[in-house]
Amino acid sequence: MNNQAQNVIDSPSNNTVFMVWNFQENKELKPVFERICALVVNLNNSAQVRSTGIKASIVMGISYHAWKKLALQEPLPKELVPFEPIVGQKHVAVATPGDLHFHIRAEEQSYCIDMAAEISDVLAAVADCKEEIHGFRYWDGRSILGFVDGTENPTGEDRAFFGIIGDEDQAYQGGSYLFIQKYIHDMNSWRALPVSEQEKVIGRSKTNDIEMSDDVKPANSHSALANVGDDLKIVRDNMPFGNIANNQMGTYFIAYASRFSTVIQMLKRMFIGEPDGNYDRILDFSTAQSGTLYFCPSIDMLKDFAG
């Protein structure tokens, strides 16, 4: 078995659909789950043929509770556990339910819509879609707050090292931990800040994306707290989304990691602070409304699940 990973380390595309599905009670889940695994493999294979240059792909994640409901392989991936809230003095990284997560992306929006429709057709009989977020690329890869997002992402071979499980869990080589959070931004308060103050919140220049020097960067800036070291990285694939008229603009935070413990360290620094109480200032403008951990099996494992 070569443990081919799903497309977890692809670069962000122009368009994305994120979907969270929860299983209904008292339903026969296994046949539908087998179909959805086969469909994900099929859609990815088809995308390689049909979407040259469009970079269409779909990644499926399975939560701890779904893994148990489906009675999948035991023992579970080493770090696949129910995500527990991380509670700071002022802000909380909430935990929300989710059974299956789909990350659908393509340069051309039509591919995203078609793949989401195929997934929905299969799952609708046994599950409810609790979240459907349509993300978009904003300028040169910026969040809707106006700053470049994902500057600290690993590049080259490091993307696979930090994003895909290797020898540390041989039964699940080629898999990846997926953690998601939906953030809603207080855009009115954010826009009221002068750019110089916004830069102190982020720890980087807004126009040119240059990191502040350590002697200038505030200790509670996002770049000071969200990065836990060059040897502990994650692959971010965040996307902006929202409704302008209703002031519901946000960021869908999505992280793929070979070790979920790295994500936990990052969240604790952001929400509890380093030291305690020195929380990430961006949380005064961005509220986490969801938080769920999933595991993305390798393509080979999806094929096994499909039967």
Contacts of 227 (CB under 8 A, 6+ apart): 152, 266
Catalytic residues: 149
Cα separation, 226 vs 283, whole angstroms: 11
Q: Which of 123, 134, 121 is nearest to 66 (CA)?
A: 123
β partners of residue 146: none
Find the helix or strand (DSSP H, E) in which 253 lies: strand 248-257
How far apart are alpha carbons 253 and 288 in whole angstroms? 9
Residue at token pair 């009670």? 25
Q: CA 298 to CA 89: how far, in whole Å? A: 39
What's the rounded Cα separation, in Å, for the pair 131 and 220?
31
Measure the CA–CA gap between 259 and 30, rounded to whole angstroms: 28
Q: What is the amino acid identity at position 145?
A: L
